[in-house]
């Protein structure tokens, strides 16, 4: 028997359980949404205090079904739209508790079980095509005069959600488990793009993209395609940054950085930094910087070969009681032989270079060992001494093998005039088979105070050519932070225009103990 809602004098007016609209005395149905008030529970006058969980949300009892409101929207026949059930959606309720299984329909709802828009214990398939009315088929919802479907136990919690069938289309066959891409589609084994025939997977259950095999490079642009041997993505065609475009290395007592610059298509510089021990156990630190000659063939290979050969020669000689200056001379000879061997190997001729010349590069290196500061060079790469006490003047430790340096040495031009000439950077000495005569330059110094040695290519000193300019560009904490200082100096060249490759090594020089080493 239906119960009529009475409003007692002075008490608040009751509201509809479905839409919360105020009700009038004696209403059997809500005037706003049509909710049947005979099935509504009595209004509770008491408001008990509940504990507040994390985030200010009252925790929901585990055995309490979730309240899903009646839908307000109606279709053209004034029938409320279907509502969702807790089992339709995975997740938690507003209290953070796991959603309980759908409750069975009560006896008061049995009469409405066959009406569209009411709740059922078995949720319908989302977005399934509408079922046509078929007279005489029992258990089909929506057919007039047909009894409702029998009660079914609550469905167990789903293990893996099934991809929904697109609306207004015939049901699709079950999709096979994900695996390698189909052969011939131009995609990688670890590629899982979204296509019309493959719905986008649920992000909550989708399998993440597997890590590529060791040694396999992924495109930095699309993050999916393989990178071929030429440095291009096989999927999107994006050119990949090469390993030598920017390089950094740091040891305890030396650091170096190299950058392609802003104008060149590749980095033709190279460096090597290392450390070893002298026979007495004291440390020996090495820095080698090479600059490939762009007008020669394979300048990038020449600089790498020279830097490696010189570094290995120094590491082999210094622990054997070879004087650091003699070890430097021998290292430059070894670097020259390594570059010459590239010319002996030869290379394929190209239409633009049918008669290849020999690979060539410049070199500058420094060794700090036994209280000595030793430098060696061929070409126009330089080494500077910058003391930690900036009140003491800095110094350039090398002399260029260049046209400008020859003009100044001969007294034909002053330094400003010589370096303003377009022939200023034409080198007169280099490593390579085409060199006139190899004349390694070496020098030894014995500083009496701490500082750093800056070993660099002309890509840096073109923007800090004078000694004072170079000292001003070196950070004050260079002796404690050599890598940071190398990064700052590379940035100084890039900020100045970055017209050439930039490479710099920073070698801190500690004060030697009394009697250590010899000149």
Angle at Cα 113 formed by Cα 107 and Cα 118, nearest 5°? 110
Q: Give the chain's mean pLDDT.
A: 73
- The position carrying tokens 């004060």 is 511
Q: Averaged over 151-175, what is the pLDDT? A: 51
Secondary structure of the chain: what % helix, strand, coil (to 5)?
20, 20, 60
- The position carrying tokens 């071929």 is 228
| Residue 387 pLDDT grade (very low, low, confident, very high; cuts 50, 70, 90) | very high
| Residue 226 pLDDT grade (very low, low, confident, very high; cuts 50, 70, 90) | confident
Q: Averaged over 295-316, what is the pLDDT? A: 96
If we measure between CA atoms, which residue out of 73, 96, 64, 70 comes closest to residue 85?
70
pTM for this one? 0.56
* Helices marked H in 376-481: 403-409, 415-420, 458-461, 467-473
* Tens digit of each residue's pLDDT (9 = 90 or more) over 42-65: 444 444 433 434 444 444 454 545
Of residues 30 and 101, more confidently modeled? 30
- The position carrying tokens 């060149």 is 264
* Tens digit of each residue's pLDDT (9 = 90 or more) over 332-383: 999 999 999 998 876 554 444 545 689 999 999 999 999 999 999 999 999 9
Q: Is the pLDDT of residue 407 over 90?
A: yes
| Residue 211 pLDDT grade (very low, low, confident, very high; cuts 50, 70, 90) | low
DSSP at 115: S
- State the pLDDT at residue 465: 85
Task: Extract the tokens encoding 495.
Answer: 């900020």
State the Cα–Cα distance between residues 170 and 213, nearest whole angstrom: 40
Provide the angle, in degrees to the nearest 10, between the axes of the packed helices 324-345 and 299-317. Answer: 140
Q: Averaged over 269-277, what is the pLDDT? A: 97
Q: Averaged over 31-38, what is the pLDDT? A: 70
Of residues 213 and 498, more confidently modeled? 498
The residues with which 365 forms a beta bridge, in sequence order, are 288, 376
Q: Is the pLDDT of residue 261 over 60?
A: yes
H or E segment at 364?
strand 360-369
- State the pLDDT at residue 197: 47
Of residues 472 and 163, more confidently modeled? 472
Given a contact cutoff of 8 angstroms between Cβ atoms, the answer to whether 271 and 505 are in contact is yes
Buried b (16+ CB within 10 A) or exposed e, 195-213: eeeeeeeeeeeeeeeeeee
| Residue 16 pLDDT grade (very low, low, confident, very high; cuts 50, 70, 90) | confident
| Residue 212 pLDDT grade (very low, low, confident, very high; cuts 50, 70, 90) | low
| Residue 155 pLDDT grade (very low, low, confident, very high; cuts 50, 70, 90) | low
Q: Is the pLDDT of residue 514 over 80?
A: no
State the Cα–Cα distance between residues 503 and 295, nearest whole angstrom: 19
State the Cα–Cα distance between residues 390 and 257, nearest whole angstrom: 24
Which range (9-13, 86-90, 224-228, 423-427) has the least confidence?
86-90
* Tens digit of each residue's pLDDT (9 = 90 or more) over 129-148: 444 444 444 444 444 444 55
Q: Chain-centre distance of CA 489, in angstroms?
A: 25
- State the pLDDT at residue 128: 46
**Residues contacting 81, CB < 8 A, separation 6+:** 71, 73, 74, 75, 117
Q: Is the pLDDT of residue 7 over 50?
A: no
The residues with which 239 forms a beta bridge, in sequence order, are 232
- State the pLDDT at residue 183: 38
Q: Is the pLDDT of residue 9 over 90?
A: no
- State the pLDDT at residue 11: 52
State the Cα–Cα distance between residues 187 and 396, nearest whole angstrom: 56
- State the pLDDT at residue 133: 44
- The position carrying tokens 């509770």 is 44
Backbone torsions φ then ψ of 88, nearest 5 degrees? -75, -30
Q: Averaged over 257-266, what is the pLDDT? A: 93
Q: Is the pLDDT of residue 161 over 70?
A: no
| Residue 415 pLDDT grade (very low, low, confident, very high; cuts 50, 70, 90) | confident
- State the pLDDT at residue 434: 85
The string of DSSP codes covering 198-251 is: BPPPPTTTPPPPPPPPTTPPBPTTTSSSBB-TTSBBTTT-PBPPPGGGEEEEE-
Q: Is the pLDDT of residue 168 over 70?
A: no
State the Cα–Cα distance between residues 266 and 472, nearest whole angstrom: 29
């Amino acid at each position: 028997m239906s119960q009529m809602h009475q409003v007692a004098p002075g008490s608040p007016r009751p509201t509809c359980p479905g839409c919360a609209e105020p009700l009038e005395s004696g209403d059997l149905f809500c005037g706003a949404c049509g909710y049947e008030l005979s099935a509504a529970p009595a209004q509770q006058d008491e408001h008990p205090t509940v504990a507040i969980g994390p985030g200010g949300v009252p925790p929901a009892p585990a055995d309490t079904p979730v309240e899903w409101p009646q839908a307000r929207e109606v279709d053209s026949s004034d029938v409320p739209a279907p509502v969702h059930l807790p089992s339709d959606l995975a997740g938690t309720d507003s209290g953070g508790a796991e959603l309980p299984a759908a409750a069975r329909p009560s006896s008061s709802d049995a009469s409405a079980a066959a009406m569209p828009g009411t709740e059922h214990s078995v949720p319908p398939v989302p977005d399934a095509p509408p079922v046509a009315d078929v007279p005489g088929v029992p258990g089909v919802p929506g057919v007039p005069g047909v009894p409702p479907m029998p009660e079914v136990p609550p469905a167990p919690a789903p293990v893996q959600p099934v991809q929904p069938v697109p609306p207004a289309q015939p049901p699709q066959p079950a999709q096979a488990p994900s695996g390698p891409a189909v052969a011939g589609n131009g995609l990688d084994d670890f590629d899982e793009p979204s296509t019309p025939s493959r719905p986008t997977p649920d992000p909550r259950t989708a399998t993440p993209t597997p890590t590529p095999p060791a040694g396999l490079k992924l495109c930095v642009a699309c993050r999916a395609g393989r990178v071929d041997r030429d440095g291009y993505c096989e999927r999107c065609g994006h050119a990949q940054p090469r390993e030598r475009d920017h390089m950094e290395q740091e040891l305890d007592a030396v650091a170096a950085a190299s950058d392609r610059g802003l104008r060149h298509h590749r980095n033709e510089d190279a460096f090597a930094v290392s450390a070893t021990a002298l026979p007495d156990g004291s440390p020996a630190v090495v820095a080698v910087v090479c600059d490939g000659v762009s007008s020669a063939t394979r300048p990038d290979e020449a600089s790498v070969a020279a830097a490696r050969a010189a570094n290995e020669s120094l590491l082999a000689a210094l622990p054997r009681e070879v004087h650091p200056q003699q070890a430097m001379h021998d290292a430059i000879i070894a670097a020259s032989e390594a570059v010459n061997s590239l010319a002996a190997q030869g290379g394929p001729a190209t239409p633009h270079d049918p008669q290849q010349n020999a690979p060539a590069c410049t070199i500058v290196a420094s060794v700090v060992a036994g209280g000595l500061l030793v430098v060696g060079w061929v070409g126009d790469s330089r080494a500077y001494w910058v003391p930690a006490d900036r009140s003491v003047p800095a110094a350039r430790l090398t002399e260029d093998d260049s046209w400008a340096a020859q003009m100044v040495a001969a007294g034909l031009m002053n330094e400003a005039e010589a370096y303003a000439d377009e022939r200023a950077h034409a080198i007169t000495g280099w490593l390579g088979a085409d060199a006139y005569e190899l004349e390694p330059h070496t020098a030894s110094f014995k500083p009496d105070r701490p500082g750093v040695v800056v070993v660099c290519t002309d890509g840096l000193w073109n923007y800090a050519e004078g000694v004072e300019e170079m000292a001003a560009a070196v950070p004050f904490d260079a002796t404690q932070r050599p890598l940071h200082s190398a990064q700052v100096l590379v940035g100084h060249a890039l900020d100045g225009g970055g017209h050439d490759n930039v490479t710099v090594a920073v070698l801190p020089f500690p004060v030697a103990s009394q009697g250590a080493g010899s000149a």
